Amino acid sequence: MLGGMQDFELRVPRLLDHAAREHAKREIITRWADGRETRSDWAGIAHDSRRLAQALERLGLKPGDRVATLAMNHGSHLVAWYGTIGMGGVVHTINPRLFDEQLVYIANHAEDRVLIYDKLFQPIVDRLKPLWTSIEHYICFDRDGADGFDALLDAEDGQYAWFEGGEREPCMLCYTSGTTGNPKGVLYTHRSTLLHAMHAGSPSVMTLSSRTAILPIVPLFHAAAWGLCFAAPLAGSKMVFSQVNNADALCGLMNREKVTLASGVPTVWLALFQHIDATGELPETVEQITVGGSAAPRAMIARFLDMGIQVIHLWGMTETSPVATAASPPPGWEDMSRDEQLDMLQKQGSIPFGIELRVLDDDNAEQPRDGVSSGRLQVRGPWVVKRYFGAPEDAVDAEDWFDTGDVAVLHPDGTMQITDRAKDVIKSGGEWISSVDLENAAVGCAGVAEAAAIGIYHPKWDERPILLVVKKPGSEVTPAEINAHLENHVAKWWLPDEILFVDDLPHTATGKLLKTELRARFKDYRLAA
Ligand code: AMP
């Protein structure tokens, strides 16, 4: 028997239609690299997206075809997403910070037919054009002239009805920036994207509304910009984009455009703090910061709370669309001590509807939610990957559980805490030391800018941690001072055997510490003791 309600395929263009109808004048602002600022609104973005859909059809694109972008954040990039998706295509965001080899691999693997790119990345295009086997059309976002994005749109009138199909058809492709092996593509569906947008904007996650003015500092090429470009039109939020990511430009933009919510990985907030310390300029209107991609350090959360800014700590991965869990103020928040509040926000948060989590030990036994038993974290739900693009097999087990590669603990209050990446935990005497906890404790020490903990071979304990530290400019901090600080935050047997100062640390294309490279670099390192 069928129910009596309307079929309403959950397709992404409906988000844009809603915003254009109900929040037509809510603005979309872009600050370009040359300092220019351009203004549009949801009605303008919808009109331009229809024009792009027409243009792509004119170029011969068919539903299901992939259109790649190699670009920073701006309103035209947003149009590229909706125009491509609106004609039934699949938008493939490419991370320009990947190595050439990976850039070649993923565009060829995705069989991209069109590449729309920022002028800034012209050298990449010139270098790799001979190696990209499927790209037929190259369009530049920010160049005047016949091969420019605006010229393409100007040839169309916008009289276009979105391609209509099923909600399980694909709309977007993102490759994971894995640190080993070839990148793997996650092919989101209209349905998964729309459900994720409803979840990401909800009060238990980012609390988006038409009042919200969002600055996604997270790049549009990093895990679908955490769903913000889909959740914003749903809520009717204003969006503010910047093609450049320096704290100076961002802070001014936040104040001019009265940004209320900004999203980014921990490193962008460290840069913002340095800007505040150097200039005294504060982001005056920001009410909420969302942090994700790596664990939010306690000292960072504390500083934002002291500034009167609420921190939402997100955990997820490209494979989970990406937002899965969110740490936000629980009941009784106002009555908690500052330390209890920090304990709460430092965890990766509570489990929202749509996401199921479990933790397994090495024998695949499910662990209790007791706040101590740690193990491999698995996830399932309607916006979690089932099979990577083009893969011969599913990435999940028979019950749809996906192994995240993270190590976690579930707490009795329903919250989840990531303790490490499975590959990064330091195994000392059969027990696990969390490299993430050590690093977070270390960056809370005055004078420490960044820290990485890795395991070094030890004849008795298998592995012992060493800590690699980048000092803040002008800091004279010593290993003894760092150790004294760490003693207040981690178990004694976790303390690193050695603390070494380095000029910088290697990062992945999405700003995470590149532990594989550090381990390779210190492969033959022997502890002095
Ligand atoms: P990506 O697919 O590049 O977004 O990477 C996903 C991975 O980033 C996760 O599996 C985690 O290891 C890590 N990650 C993301 N958010 C957090 C967080 N809030 N705390 C700790 N690790 C995180």
Could you give the number of structural domains in the chain? 3
Which among 62, 258, 423, 427 is annotated as catalytic? Answer: 427
322 lines ligand 1 (CB under 6 A): yes
- Domain final position from 264, 291, 318: 291
Q: Is the pLDDT of residue 440 over 80?
A: yes
Ligand 1 centre and the CA of 417: distance in Å?
Answer: 12
Instruction: Examine the residue annotation and report whether 69 is marked as an active-site residue of this protein.
Output: no
Report pLDDT for 267.
84
Question: In this predicted model, what pLDDT tens digit does every residue of 264-314 receive, in sequence order?
Answer: 998 899 899 999 999 999 999 999 999 999 889 899 999 999 999 999 999
Report pLDDT for 311.
98
Residues 442 and 361 in one domain: no
Report pLDDT for 516.
87
Cα 429 from Cα 431, distance rounded (Å): 5
CATH number of the domain encompassing residue 464: 3.30.300.30
Instruction: Examine the residue annotation and report whether 132 is marked as an active-site residue of this protein.
Output: no
Q: Is residue 375 a part of any domain in this protein? A: yes
The per-residue pLDDT of the chain, averaged, comes to 95
Residues 440 and 454 in one domain: yes
Q: Model confidence at 460, in pLDDT bands (50, 70, 90)?
A: confident
Please say whether the dihedral angle defined by the alpha carbons of residues 15, 17, 22 and 25, taken in this order, is positive or negative: positive
* Overall average pLDDT of the 28-52 stretch: 97
Q: Is residue 506 a part of any domain in this protein? A: yes
Instruction: Examine the residue annotation and report whether 404 is marked as an active-site residue of this protein.
Output: no
Residues 225 and 91 in one domain: yes
Which among 69, 84, 93, 176 is annotated as catalytic? Answer: 176
Residues 410 and 436 in one domain: no
Residues 17 and 159 in one domain: yes
* Overall average pLDDT of the 54-63 stretch: 98
Q: Measured between alpha carbons, how far is residue 154 from residues 50, 54, 116 in Å?
A: 12, 11, 16
Q: Which ligand 1 atom sits nearest the alpha carbon of residue 510?
A: 3
- Domain final position from 276, 291, 306: 291
Residues 262 and 385 in one domain: no
Report pLDDT for 178.
59
Q: Is residue 317 a part of any domain in this protein? A: no
- Domain final position from 374, 395, 421: 421
Residues 265 and 178 in one domain: yes
In this structure, which amino acid lies at residue 403?
D
Pocket test for ligand 1, best of 406, 415, 420, 437 (most atoms within 8 A of CB): 406
Ramachandran assignment for 217, one of left (phi > 0), alpha (psi -120 to 50 degrees), beta (any other): alpha
Q: Is residue 313 a part of any domain in this protein? A: no
Q: Is residue 302 a part of any domain in this protein? A: no
Prediction pTM value:
0.91
Cα 237 from Cα 98, distance rounded (Å): 31
Residues 498 and 379 in one domain: no
**Within 13 Å, how many C-alpha atoms sit on residue 287's CB side?**
9
Report pLDDT for 427.
86
Ligand 1 centre and the CA of 316: distance in Å?
Answer: 6
Which among 319, 325, 494, 508 is annotated as catalytic? Answer: 319
Closest residue to atom 23 of ligand 1, CA basis: 294
Which range marks the domain in which residue 403 is found?
Answer: 354-421
Question: In this predicted model, what pLDDT tens digit does every residue of 407-437 receive, in sequence order?
Answer: 999 999 999 999 988 889 898 887 888 898 8
Q: Is the pLDDT of residue 390 over 80?
A: yes
Judge whether 88 and 63 are in contact, CB under 8 Å.
yes
Q: Is the pLDDT of residue 362 over 90?
A: no
Pocket test for ligand 1, best of 188, 290, 418 (most atoms within 8 A of CB): 418
Residues of 488-511 as b/e, b for ≥16 C-beta within 10 angstroms? Answer: eebeeebbbbebeeeeebebbbbb
Report pLDDT for 397.
97
Ligand 1 centre and the CA of 293: distance in Å?
Answer: 4
**Within 13 Å, how many C-alpha atoms sit on residue 200's CB side?**
30
Q: Model confidence at 496, in pLDDT bands (50, 70, 90)?
A: very high
CATH number of the domain encompassing residue 125: 3.40.50.12780
Q: Is residue 319 a part of any domain in this protein? A: no
Q: Is residue 334 a part of any domain in this protein? A: no
* Overall average pLDDT of the 152-170 stretch: 98
Report pLDDT for 294.
87
Residues 79 and 164 in one domain: yes
Q: Model confidence at 510, in pLDDT bands (50, 70, 90)?
A: confident
CATH number of the domain encompassing residue 412: 2.30.38.10
Residues 410 and 438 in one domain: no
Cα 176 from Cα 518, distance rounded (Å): 20
Residues 206 and 182 in one domain: yes
Report pLDDT for 177.
66
294 lines ligand 1 (CB under 6 A): yes
Q: Is the pLDDT of residue 170 over 90?
A: yes
Q: Is the pLDDT of residue 180 over 70?
A: no
Report pLDDT for 124.
98
Pocket test for ligand 1, best of 95, 173, 315 (most atoms within 8 A of CB): 315
Closest residue to atom 10 of ligand 1, CA basis: 317
Residues 415 and 474 in one domain: no
User: H/E element holding 134?
Assistant: none
Q: Is residue 387 a part of any domain in this protein? A: yes
Q: Model confidence at 35, in pLDDT bands (50, 70, 90)?
A: very high
Helix axes 266-279, 247-256, angle to 10 degrees: 80
Instruction: Examine the residue annotation and report whether 383 is marked as an active-site residue of this protein.
Output: no
